[in-house]
Structure 1
């Protein structure tokens, strides 16, 4: 006799499963392949561990798998993920702008609090903060009425810039939040939205880029520079800038 299958309720989602859903949303929004291995890397677990949670999200109708094993959000999954991201980013703004927490602290606390934010609290947070368009790192807040005010001119990754250019930081990829040491480094050395960077040296032989910030000279590895999106402007720099000693280095 055939056994009827049951589908888990999409509202019956654990905090850990919600974290996976956010990771999938981030990968898709950054045009990166949303596959189990990348989700596992972001969340910080092994690929076999992530598969069980992905199967549950699939049973709940929040994701689907393509023939190429790429993960896609269903309409319901996208709405759920955007709701989570909206609450997370609003909470980060509140924690940084109102309570004065640093980026690392704000992210960790927002991770804990976002699941307890009610629609009423979400509405009040947005109102108190003036309906911000972005999180502290410059990433758009889903559902913000201020989104139309965002600068939509072309952006490039900092890693794509050339020596001698000047660039204004637009945003730090949300994926950088999963590396809290990197997030702390960016904040400490003033690699933040609105800050102007002077690209001093692009060294192809060791995949590094040296930039001047308001905090001094900083050397970034290629992977770190890929996390930073900027508006570049060509500008001349002195020929001897390549000889300046960097103040800090990150891989």
Structure 2
């Protein structure tokens, strides 16, 4: 009698090719995070990498050491992680694929926007050059994602602006006061795109990037901001209000007073 096959309780060891691919994928993710931190004007340290990636400290140190050896990252005397010119160009290529994937998933596939960032993080590793070209063409060669983040052009060497310079962006926290004012929501940065509760709340309120919203300070102590869109309101916590980027509406010009004639 043939014996029954037994399920493996230990997964097979990955091949050398698989290990190399996983290491390269992890390296691209690290470069992308460092690029995003530069974009947001935030200092990059090992702690920020393991916080954003959910990786262990030894894993982060090992991966960063490899990127340093490959000439993609430098460590300053202050222990800041800085992309080299080659590392920045490689990161821009990854960011381009990631943000094209986000845009494609939202505008073509119809994926809910609170799922797009995570799914695009998977796609960025498997999109080839020809698929990237066709995806961009299908979308009309976009220069901005629906999140309001810029899509680097092909062959970008760094943080090159993809199109015309737009309005001046300021943190939402800097654009509110004790009286209601109106601003245009412009950008949800990458680190907020994994906050599904926030994204769903913004969408339910009708406060997507590109929409004009009413804002007022909700709590001076915590910095919370009440944001009202076309469908409702949401109270944004202070740290989030310091990360969301908006543009102020141009002040209305008063009509000149007519001189009275006798």
User: TM-score, normalising length from structure 1?
Assistant: 0.82
Query: Rg: which structure is higher?
Result: 2
The 1-side partners of 2:133 and 2:229 are apart by 36
Instruction: Rate the CA distance shift 1:53–1:146 in 2: closer, same or farther, 3 A.
Output: closer
The 2-side partners of 1:25 and 1:159 are apart by 24
Question: 1:227 corresponds to which residue?
Answer: 243
The 2-side partners of 1:75 and 1:215 are apart by 45
Question: 1:40 corresponds to which residue?
Answer: 50
Question: 2:164 corresponds to which residue?
Answer: 149
User: TM-score, normalising length from structure 2?
Assistant: 0.79
Mapped contact 2:115–2:196 kept (Cα < 8 A): no
Aligned pairs (5 A) from 1:204-219: 204-219=220-235
CA shift for structure 1 position 205:
2.2
CA shift for structure 1 position 150:
4.7
Question: 2:129 corresponds to which residue?
Answer: 119
Question: 2:172 corresponds to which residue?
Answer: 158
Q: Secondary structure at the match of 1:108?
A: helix
4+ long deviations beyond 4 Å: 10-13
CA shift for structure 1 position 202:
4.0
CA shift for structure 1 position 211:
1.7
Question: 2:70 corresponds to which residue?
Answer: 60
Question: 1:245 corresponds to which residue?
Answer: none
Question: 1:172 corresponds to which residue?
Answer: 188
> C-alpha root-mean-square deviation of aligned residues, in Å?
2.4
Asked if 1:79 corresponds to 2:89, the answer is: yes
Question: 2:9 corresponds to which residue?
Answer: none
Larger % of strand: which? 1
The 1-side partners of 2:127 and 2:216 are apart by 44
The 1-side partners of 2:58 and 2:173 are apart by 32
Mapped contact 2:189–2:243 kept (Cα < 8 A): yes
Higher mean C-alpha deviation, range 188-197 or range 178-187: 178-187
Instruction: Rate the CA distance shift 1:125–1:192 in 2: closer, same or farther, 3 A.
Output: same
Match of 2:202 among 186, 190, 193: 186
The 1-side partners of 2:108 and 2:63 are apart by 35
CA shift for structure 1 position 227:
2.3
Q: Secondary structure at the match of 1:142?
A: coil
Aligned pairs (5 A) from 1:66-105: 66-105=76-115
CA shift for structure 1 position 48:
3.9
Mapped contact 1:165–1:234 kept (Cα < 8 A): no
Question: 1:197 corresponds to which residue?
Answer: 213
Instruction: Rate the CA distance shift 1:81–1:136 in 2: closer, same or farther, 3 A.
Output: same
Unmatched 5+ stretches in structure 1: 1-9, 236-251
